[in-house]
């Protein structure tokens, strides 16, 4: 009986393999389901100003006045990819609509990163962090904000990224100028060499 049924075990070995493969296939399929859409992805689109600049951070910030009393005055601060806009706090709801429209535009002050030298963190006192924005002409503008809002770090980060972008653009433009000079040089040499031969 054993000798006659010798071929039966050979047929039983491949039989369990197809179901085990299908189970593995099902498990791997279950391990990688379609991820649910993140609310931040499906939420409101990225904020932009009317002139197309991205808004990275927006909120109230206190600025020390330039007068003799040096009072702290609240300003709406809008951090963009190329500077900081300071608006009256009344424009807190719709800064992108107010900026550049009518008489309110005169009250908008812009601290452009091209004119900004550094952001110095002076001190952390109580719930506030005090920092100074130093402009290239030497003017210093004092600000304060709650420590957990991190305005000084955000402004510094965007300023560094702006200056890096400008440096890359400057390198590209100098390379393009050098390439143009290399292309023009052979023609200039041939023009200059003609009179010397004569």
Q: Which of 47-51, 95-99, 138-142, 145-149 has the lowest mean pLDDT?
A: 95-99
Query: 98 near 85, Cβ under 8 Å?
Result: no
At residue 13, the pLDDT reads 52
* Spatial separation of the C-alpha atoms in residues 132 and 118, rounded to whole Å: 8
Q: Which of 2-6, 106-110, 159-163, 169-173 has the lowest mean pLDDT?
A: 2-6
pLDDT tens per residue, range 14-51: 555 554 444 444 444 444 444 444 443 344 446 777 66
Task: Supply the Cα-derived Rg of the chain in whole angstroms.
Answer: 33
At residue 90, the pLDDT reads 75
Q: What confidence tier does 179 reach under pLDDT thresholds 50, 70, 90?
A: confident
User: What CATH code is assigned to 55-158?
Assistant: 2.30.29.30
At residue 35, the pLDDT reads 43
* Mean predicted confidence (pLDDT) in 161-177: 91
% residues pLDDT > 70 (the chain): 60
DSSP code per residue over 41-87: HHSSPPPB-TTS-BEEEEEEEEEE-SSSS--EEEEEEEEESSEEEEE
Query: 113 near 95, Cβ under 8 Å?
Result: no
* Spatial separation of the C-alpha atoms in residues 52 and 48, rounded to whole Å: 6
At residue 186, the pLDDT reads 58
């Amino acid at each position: 009986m054993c000798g006659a049924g010798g071929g039966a075990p050979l047929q039983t070995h491949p039989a369990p393999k197809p179901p085990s493969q299908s189970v593995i296939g099902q498990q791997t399929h279950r391990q990688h389901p379609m991820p649910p859409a993140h609310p931040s992805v499906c939420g409101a689109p990225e904020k932009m100003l009317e002139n197309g600049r991205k808004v990275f951070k927006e909120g109230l910030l206190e600025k020390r006045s330039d007068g003799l009393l040096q009072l702290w005055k609240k300003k709406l601060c809008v951090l963009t990819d190329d500077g900081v806009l300071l608006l009256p706090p009344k424009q807190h709801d719709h800064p992108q609509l107010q900026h550049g429209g009518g008489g309110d535009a005169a009250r908008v002050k812009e601290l452009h990163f091209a004119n900004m030298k550094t952001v110095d963190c002076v001190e952390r006192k109580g719930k506030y962090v005090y920092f100074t924005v130093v402009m290239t002409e030497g003017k210093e503008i004092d600000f304060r904000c709650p420590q957990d809002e991190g305005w000084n770090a955000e402004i510094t980060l965007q300023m560094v990224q702006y200056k890096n972008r400008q440096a890359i653009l400057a390198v590209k433009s100098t390379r393009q100028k050098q390439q143009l000079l290399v292309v023009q040089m052979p023609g200039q040499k041939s023009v200059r060499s003609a009179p010397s031969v004569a």
